[in-house]
Amino acid sequence: MPAALDTASPLSYELDVMTIVNNEGDGFDIKEIFKECNIYESIHRNFLLGEVVISDQVGFLENAKLFGQESIRIRFRQPVGLTGDDIDEDDVIDKVFRIYKVDSVMRIKNSAQVFKINFCSPEMLKSKRSRISQAFRGSFTDIAAVVAEDYLGIINEDTTDKFQPHFEVREKSQGDNYHVVVPNWTVGYTINWLCKQAQGIDSNSGLQDSFYWYQTANGGYRIQSLASMMEIQYGGGRPFIYSDAFGQDGKDLPYDMTDADGLVGMGRRILGYKIETQADVLRGITEGLFTSKQTTVDNTYKFYTEKTYNFLEKHFSGDGQSLSPHPFIRTQPETLHIGSAALEGDVNIVGSMEDKAIGDFHTGYQILTSDSSFVNDDKDDIHQANHFTHLGSSQFRNAANQLLKYNTMSVALSARTDISVGTLINLQLPSVRPGEESKEQKFQGGNHLITQIKWSMTKNQLRTDLKVIKDSLMNNIETSEMDYGETEKI
């Protein structure tokens, strides 16, 4: 029985199963001989990946006949709650993986060696082995689901069998009657191409109408848009809070972390965080986040159209489609001020240079694409894959991918197996204010979208590392009044 949270470390967890079975049916329990195990989940990857490091003093590598064609099952869970009740089965990670690589075999002494095993979801290898030469008709995400069922065995229905690959979420994209011919592509390439084509093209579509195919560790597969991901709150929206140290009574917390019974959830503490990128204007300019220009050549009627994209226009036209109301760049034309040395605490401004707004430079990133305006039937009800491409779907998809790289943060949490990518997490990060009490940050706190998770386990501890992003800010950069903290006197 796992220990309750009032006595256990936030990093404690229960490892129920870690076994390897080879093709001959010989099974081996490796719970006592593994040193480290990592499992990776991401909206940018179609399948789960992982690795385990094993300390071998009994000739396990040879006796188990490990040559990259074996299975490994891993079942683990976070600690139970304060009441001592067991957690729900849906919050337990229990997966069977396929071993595909054994490497880094290192002899450390005459009677011992260490090696690493890499594993993945069985469907990943299937997606690399099979190719498709077939015609399909329907919406892009529906076609992707058909491909998954026919070639990967992923069923399109709910199931209680955790070992049966299935779709946990399958969101329908715009359009019902696209005609697609897949010309001898691998299954994996086909799936990702279909999700790329499913980018929303309606005039009201935001950057968040971008679809991603991924697998969750405690659930199934998902085909989901960023817009619907941003509607799912992890933990009911309860905040996870960073603090150097605090007790169970919650007196030292910068915010209220107590539940209805007045108890503090140690599992809701942020163990550490690092803002990987708060701003990267150069990358946003050169890779099409802020602005772009698309030229579309119509091969049938021999003309071309040009369309420009502006991040600020898209942000404010898509009402309610971002996490917060304010963009993470200034909305007004840029002004570069020239400052001199500070006089009595204030920097003296001696000049300034004005420029356009950041979204006014459309030639920084250009896209050239084509559209064949042929008609498949008399009513033009059946469309080719790049139908209406001149409306800017390529621009929006590219900008959405850049959006996921612009404002990123790494966050370390305690042992949690009820969490998955494609959900929002509420992070409360007190400002750094030397010599004063903690105050809430004006820009970096609030809801973040989880895009990557790494479960890193040893025999005694499980750490949950997240990568999260923000697509907007809680407050306007230009109008927010800042209250500067005093320098701490030594």
Rounded-to-integer distance, Cα 223 and Cα 143, Å: 11
Q: What local confidence, expressed as pLDDT, does residue 443 receive?
A: 82
Q: In what order do the strands lie in the sheet with 366-371?
A: 303-310, 291-298, 366-371
Residues 6+ positions from 156 with CB-CB distance below 8 Å:
145, 148, 149, 166, 167, 170
List the chain pLDDT tens, one digit each, 490 residues. Answer: 344 444 457 899 999 999 999 999 999 999 999 999 999 999 999 999 999 999 999 999 999 999 999 999 999 999 876 334 467 888 999 999 999 999 999 998 888 999 999 999 999 999 999 999 999 999 999 999 999 999 999 998 888 888 899 999 999 998 888 889 999 999 999 999 999 999 877 667 778 889 999 999 999 999 999 999 999 999 889 999 887 654 444 444 444 444 444 344 567 889 999 999 999 999 999 999 999 999 999 887 788 899 999 999 888 876 667 888 889 999 999 889 898 887 777 888 889 999 888 988 888 899 998 887 665 666 667 777 877 788 888 899 999 999 999 999 999 999 999 999 999 999 998 877 655 566 677 888 889 999 999 999 999 999 999 999 999 888 888 888 776 655 444 3
Q: What local confidence, expressed as pLDDT, does residue 251 receive?
A: 46
Neighbour-count burial for 417-449, b at 16+ CB within 10 Å, e otherwise? bbbbbbbbbbbbbbbeeeeeebeebbbbbbbbb
Q: Contact 148/124 with Cβ under 8 angstroms?
A: no
Q: Contact 413/466 with Cβ under 8 angstroms?
A: yes
User: Checking DSSP bridges between strand 93-109 and strand 167-170, what pairing results, if any?
Assistant: unpaired
Q: Is 372 left (phi over 0), alpha (psi -120 to 50) or beta?
A: beta
Rounded-to-integer distance, Cα 81 and Cα 421, Å: 22
Rounded-to-integer distance, Cα 29 and Cα 40, Å: 22
Q: What local confidence, expressed as pLDDT, does residue 178 receive?
A: 87
3-state secondary structure of 375: coil
CA 471 and chain centroid, separation: 13
Percent helix, strand and coil across the chain, each to the nearest 5: 20, 40, 45
Q: Which amino acid is at 248?
A: Q
Domains and CATH numbers, the chain: 14-120+230-278+407-469 (2.30.300.10), 124-229 (3.55.50), 282-384 (no CATH)
Rounded-to-integer distance, Cα 219 and Cα 43, Å: 14
Short-list 423, 441, 40, 469, CA closest to 277: 469
Q: What local confidence, expressed as pLDDT, does residue 480 receive?
A: 82
Question: H helices within 43-151, ranges in order?
Answer: 60-63, 122-129, 140-147
Q: Contact 170/222 with Cβ under 8 angstroms?
A: yes
Tokens 């290898």 sit at which residue? Answer: 125
Furthest CA-CA distance within the chain: 82
DSSP notation for 158-194:
--S-TTS-BEEEEPPPS-S-EEEEEEEEEHHHHHHHH
Q: Which amino acid is at 242?
A: Y
Rounded-to-integer distance, Cα 48 and Cα 118, Å: 11
Q: What local confidence, expressed as pLDDT, does residue 3 receive?
A: 40
Q: Contact 154/221 with Cβ under 8 angstroms?
A: yes
Q: Contact 309/294 with Cβ under 8 angstroms?
A: yes
Q: Contact 98/68 with Cβ under 8 angstroms?
A: no
Rounded-to-integer distance, Cα 320 and Cα 478, Å: 21
Residues 6+ positions from 133 with CB-CB distance below 8 Å:
182, 183, 184
Rounded-to-integer distance, Cα 350 and Cα 444, Å: 31
Rounded-to-integer distance, Cα 379 and Cα 373, Å: 13
